[in-house]
Amino acid sequence: AQSVTQLDSHVSVSEGTPVLLRCNYSSSYSPSLFWYVQHPNKGLQLLLKYTSAATLVKGINGFEAEFKKSETSFHLTKPSAHMSDAAEYFCVLANAGGTSYGKLTFGQGTILTVHP
């Protein structure tokens, strides 16, 4: 069985300060991991993905995440938050093959609030 745990349901930061959204995973196989963002009334947008290449993954809008196998973590960071970053973020684990091809397991989501 595989699972994804986002450790914070809400994170609040001030504009210009760093962002850290935490994610731990459990998987029997080498995982493929993603971060998606969901703005109100909009579809999920892929921020970045890890698929067994470099452990430090850079995504769009200045976000990056580091895959740490020893800690089973895939935390999302950004050096400086913008007001437009306010949204809900999902850490996602993918099944790589067999009958579970393409199936995604979502974390519970973290709502990021950015204060002026």
Partner 1 sequence: GAVVSQHPSRVICKSGTSVKIECRSLDFQATTMFWYRQFPKKSLMLMATSNEGSKATYEQGVEKDKFLINHASLTLSTLTVTSAHPEDSSFYICSAIPDRAPSFDEQYFGPGTRLTVT
Q: Kindly list the residues in this chain that would bind partner 1 in the complex (CB under 8 A).
A: 32, 34, 36, 41-45, 49, 51, 90, 94-96, 99, 101-109
* Nearest distance in Å: CB 23, partner 1: 12
Question: 6 near 110, Cβ under 8 Å?
Answer: yes
CA distance 51 to 102: 13
Q: In terms of CB distance, is 17 or 45 closer to partner 1?
A: 45
Question: 112 near 89, Cβ under 8 Å?
Answer: yes
CA distance 53 to 67: 10
Q: In terms of CB distance, is 70 or 101 closer to partner 1?
A: 101
Question: 90 near 76, Cβ under 8 Å?
Answer: no
Stated length of the chain: 116
Q: In terms of CB distance, is 13 or 33 closer to partner 1?
A: 33
* Nearest distance in Å: CB 100, partner 1: 9
Q: Are β-strands 10-14 and 110-115 bridged in parallel, bridged antiparallel, or unpaired?
A: parallel
Q: In terms of CB distance, is 19 or 92 closer to partner 1?
A: 92
* Nearest distance in Å: CB 42, partner 1: 6
* Nearest distance in Å: CB 46, partner 1: 8
